Chains A and B, each alone.
Chain A
């Protein structure tokens, strides 16, 4: 079991640029979650998918953020255009319904 795989591990980009974060969930897991972690706000759920369908995106901060899950083995979180306040660690997690989540190692995003 390779776990939840996120890429890249680190991303530094200039304000205004588009950023795409990627996630490969654990095979057989039917739920996928995107979180953002900052010192000020802790861990915040941004969006979650069940069986590839977005169920709740109420945590997505604004329209600059979008997430897709085209199939059961891949998801992306896109920020366009990026802003310095988007700097954070973004985690992807996956789960089988009714079980705790398994997190990836995260992507540390820095927007300068």
Chain B
């Protein structure tokens, strides 16, 4: 089944403790992206990647890092999480130049 898989689904952590949210897709998509969803703000892009070793900032990149060492994986790294990063995070992928995005099921992160 074609899908985007995120792990974990739920995560509670403390301020300053580094964490990684994994994202993997099995559709051979070149393009991958991370979004955060907050009430009243919709989905905002954090980082995106056009292909292996090619990443760039989205609209709200502060406090996040990403890497794209393999085509299928695009982990989101929070080096020193803060409470304002409490949110629902989604990974998405698509073929290059394609408008159709496939989203993962989300990771609900709480930073206390």
Q: Do A and B bind each other?
A: no
Q: A residues bordering B, Cβ < 8 Å?
A: none
